[in-house]
């Protein structure tokens, strides 16, 4: 009797269910704009939709399951592909990427070892090379895809730690001597996780102050390195940001590279968000300076518009990854032509078994081409600058910053003096509650930043569906919800609205 397996599916049935699923997705994409960005439900409401049944003893028919899963997901999700989704650094995902993930999952190559994934390994290598080319990074670098920006930065961090430790840190651990990292106060929190998980500890991070434009202060950096040297520590890593997560600020990367080189430190650039903007014709020299990095993190699931998850680490000297992660004897890889040419990604990063993330990125790069990609990124930046100008025109909005495709601003009601220290706490409270109202309302989605102590609304355009009209609608939405929030706050808050400035 032939075996029956609960999860096997007849190909004809797969075809039918697949078509149905694709039909649902196509309708979903067609109707995106008409829907709220988020249903704004509470955790209790979402859980109630899901139910809390026990693991079923018996299986069920896949068509009903697929239909139900789709209903749950499509009806109760935040839609980051919506034209008015402008929160965090989360891009709209290329629909092509969804098809790519389906194909990748169907063939299911294990891109940990070349033998297990011959073509997928080669496609990943080509993807990495194209990303480097696009960014202006030396194309003969090493690199690999990882889950996202945090991991991409972590891989760079570990490569730096391995390269700069003056002992066998992989065997002996980090205990010998304090190794110190230099990062601006605007750096994303990945650096804390990396310092922690690598065993160096967060106390090895030297937070270098940023200047008025949120860029690392170079003299403070020099001073900190020299002080650590004098104290007998081992400075090993300078981290620059190519687009900070709060305001899109770009550190003076060429100057950071020079300081790192002068002191014999590794130079890592966090370009998770902003690196792709280096490809634009009008990119500044500071941003283009990412080409001097010993390692560079970039996030294809951000400004390459790939669906989650896809991060990428590039390393100038390709051998560094193997030196950091490989546990097979060195001769294994260089023992003859054949082996040398086999790309075994398990030896180049933290993962062992690896999925085929590269396909959606590779297809996206090919479908858009350098020109199409640069145009989407450039349009996002132009829309962000437009928002900044529109906000400046509004009496009740205060524009705070504009960098790359991030604009920050806040709501300041008429009659409130935005410079009055007595108004500061009240304005922060007001804008925080306003953000909650915006996020729950579903008309548009923003996130927040804190700019010199001010709670700010933050719009980050990494969204090829956002139109000029969406941007122009924002100031009106924010002002209207701002007035509502103010009224609600007056009714409930312990913090009082500051008195209007008195004449004289």
Which residue ranges make up the site for ligand PLP (CB under 6 A)?
A: 89, 148-150, 153, 188, 190, 241, 243, 245, 270, 272-273, 299, 311
Six-digit token string for 223: 């001073």
Of the pair 104, 460, the CB lying nearest ligand PLP is at: 460
Distance between CA atoms of residues 334 and 337, nearest Å: 7
Six-digit token string for 452: 């010199």
Q: CB nearest ligand PLP: which residue?
A: 149
Distance between CA atoms of residues 326 and 330, nearest Å: 8
Asked if residue 379 lies in contact with residue 467, where contact means CB atoms within 8 angstroms, the answer is: no
Asked if residue 256 lies in contact with residue 226, where contact means CB atoms within 8 angstroms, the answer is: no
3-state secondary structure of 266: strand
For residue 268, the minimal CB distance to ligand PLP (Å) is: 11
Of the pair 28, 88, the CB lying nearest ligand PLP is at: 88
Of the pair 114, 190, the CB lying nearest ligand PLP is at: 190
For residue 297, the minimal CB distance to ligand PLP (Å) is: 7
**Residues 94, 98, 101, 107, CA torsion sign:** negative
For residue 59, the minimal CB distance to ligand PLP (Å) is: 35
* H or E element that contains 179: strand 179-184
For residue 90, the minimal CB distance to ligand PLP (Å) is: 8
Question: What is the residue-wise DSSP string for 207-250?
Answer: EEPB-TTS-B-HHHHHHHHHHHHHTT-EEEEEEEEBS-TTT--B
For residue 127, the minimal CB distance to ligand PLP (Å) is: 17
Tell me the sheet residues that pair with 239. Answer: 183, 268
Of the pair 186, 228, the CB lying nearest ligand PLP is at: 186
3-state secondary structure of 458: strand
126-to-100, 123, 366, 381, 418 alpha-carbon distances in Å:
16, 5, 11, 28, 52
Asked if residue 143 lies in contact with residue 315, where contact means CB atoms within 8 angstroms, the answer is: yes
> Taking the CA of residue 321 as centre, how many other CA atoms within 13 Å lie in the half-sphere pointing to its CB?
29
Of the pair 272, 315, the CB lying nearest ligand PLP is at: 272
For residue 66, the minimal CB distance to ligand PLP (Å) is: 28
Q: How many residues are listed for the chain in this entry?
A: 504
Distance between CA atoms of residues 301 and 32, nearest Å: 20
For residue 388, the minimal CB distance to ligand PLP (Å) is: 19
> Any residues with CB less than 8 A from the CB of 188 and at least 6 apart, and which?
149, 153, 241, 244, 245, 270, 272
For residue 327, the minimal CB distance to ligand PLP (Å) is: 26
Of the pair 90, 121, the CB lying nearest ligand PLP is at: 90
Of the pair 157, 345, the CB lying nearest ligand PLP is at: 157
* H or E element that contains 118: helix 118-135
4-to-9, 15, 61 alpha-carbon distances in Å:
10, 20, 15
For residue 125, the minimal CB distance to ligand PLP (Å) is: 21
Of the pair 236, 273, the CB lying nearest ligand PLP is at: 273
For residue 72, the minimal CB distance to ligand PLP (Å) is: 24
Of the pair 270, 398, the CB lying nearest ligand PLP is at: 270
For residue 331, the minimal CB distance to ligand PLP (Å) is: 35
Of the pair 273, 455, the CB lying nearest ligand PLP is at: 273
* H or E element that contains 401: strand 397-403
Distance between CA atoms of residues 114 and 401, nearest Å: 47
């Amino acid at each position: 009797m032939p075996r029956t397996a609960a999860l096997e599916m007849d190909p004809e049935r797969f075809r039918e269910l697949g078509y149905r699923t694709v039909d649902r997705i196509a309708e979903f994409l067609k109707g995106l704009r008409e829907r709220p960005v988020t249903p704004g439900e509470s955790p209790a409401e979402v859980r109630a939709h899901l139910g809390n049944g026990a693991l079923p003893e018996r299986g069920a028919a896949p068509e009903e399951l697929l239909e139900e899963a789709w209903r749950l997901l499509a009806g109760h999700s935040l839609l980051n592909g919506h034209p008015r989704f402008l929160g965090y650094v989360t891009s709209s995902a290329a629909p092509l990427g969804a098809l790519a993930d389906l194909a990748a999952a169907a063939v299911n190559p294990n891109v940990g070892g070349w033998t297990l994934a011959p073509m997928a390994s080669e496609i990943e290598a080509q993807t990495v090379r194209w990303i480097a080319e696009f960014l202006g990074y030396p194309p003969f670098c090493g690199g690999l895809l990882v889950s996202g920006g945090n991991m991409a930065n972590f891989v760079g961090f570990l490569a730096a730690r391995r390269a700069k430790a003056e002992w066998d840190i992989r065997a002996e651990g980090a205990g010998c001597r304090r190794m110190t990292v230099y990062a601006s106060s605007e750096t994303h929190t990945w650096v804390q996780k990396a310092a922690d998980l690598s065993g160096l500890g967060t106390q090895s991070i030297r937070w270098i102050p940023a200047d008025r434009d949120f860029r690392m202060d170079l003299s403070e950096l020099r001073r900190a390195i020299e002080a650590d040297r004098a104290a007998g520590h081992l400075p090993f890593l300078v981290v620059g940001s190519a687009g900070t997560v709060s305001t899109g600020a770009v550190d003076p990367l060429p100057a950071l590279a020079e300081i790192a080189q002068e002191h014999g430190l590794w130079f890592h650039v966090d370009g998770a968000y902003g690196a792709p903007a280096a490809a634009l014709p009008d990119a500044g020299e500071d941003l283009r300076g990412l080409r001097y990095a010993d390692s560079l993190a970039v996030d294809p699931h951000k400004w390459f518009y790939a669906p989650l998850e896809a991060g990428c680490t590039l390393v100038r000297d390709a051998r560094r990854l193997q030196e950091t992660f490989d546990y097979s004897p060195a001769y294994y890889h260089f023992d003859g032509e054949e082996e040398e040419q086999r790309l075994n990604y398990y030896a180049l990063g933290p993962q062992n078994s690896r999925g085929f993330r590269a396909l959606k990125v590779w297809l996206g790069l090919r479908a858009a081409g350098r020109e199409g990609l640069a145009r989407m990124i450039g349009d996002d930046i132009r829309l962000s600058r437009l928002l900044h100008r529109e906000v400046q025109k509004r009496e009740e909005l205060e524009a705070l910053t504009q960098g790359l495709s991030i604009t920050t601003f806040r709501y300041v009601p008429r009659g409130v003096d935005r410079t009055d220290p007595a108004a500061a706490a009240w304005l922060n409270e007001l804008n925080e509650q306003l953000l909650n109202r915006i996020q729950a309302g579903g008309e548009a989605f923003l996130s927040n930043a804190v700019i010199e102590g001010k709670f700010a609304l933050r719009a980050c355009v990494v969204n090829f569906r956002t139109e000029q009209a969406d941007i122009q609608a924002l100031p009106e939405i924010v002002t209207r919800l701002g007035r509502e929030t103010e009224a609600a706050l007056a009714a409930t808050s312990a913090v009082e609205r500051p008195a209007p400035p008195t004449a004289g």
